[in-house]
Amino acid sequence: MTKRKQNSLFITLDDLVSEDHPYRKLDALLSFDELANPFLDIYSAKGRKEKGVSFGLRTLVLQFIEVSVIERWNAFYAKTIQQIGSVN
C-alpha cells in the first residue's frame, strides 16, 4: 500500500487566491494592523477570542470596494439598456 500525502487533501485560501489578485495588492499597500492600533484598547483580554480589529477593517474596506464596483456596474448596465431602448 502506498502512502498518500495528507496535505494534498486540504486547500488553503492562499491556494485559491492568485498572487497578483487586487486584494493582495491592497493588503500589501495598507497596514491594517497599524490602522487597528488605536482601537486595541477597546477590546478586553477576557472572554471569547474575537477575529481582531485588523480583520474587521479589512472586511469594511473590501465591502466598500465591492459595493462601489457593483454600483458602477449597475449604472453602466442601466445606461446601456436605455441606449438599446432608444435605438429600437
pLDDT of residue 5: 55
Whether pLDDT at 18 is above 60: yes
b/e burial code for range 27-42 (CB count within 10 A of at least 16 → b): eeeeebeeebeeeeee
Biggest alpha carbon distance in the chain?
Answer: 70
pLDDT of residue 33: 86
The pLDDT tens digits of the residues spanning 49-77 come to 777 888 888 889 889 988 888 888 888 88
Beta carbons within 10 angstroms of residue 62's beta carbon: 13
Separation CA 60–CA 19 (nearest Å) = 22
Interhelix angle 53-87/22-29, rounded to 10 degrees, is 140
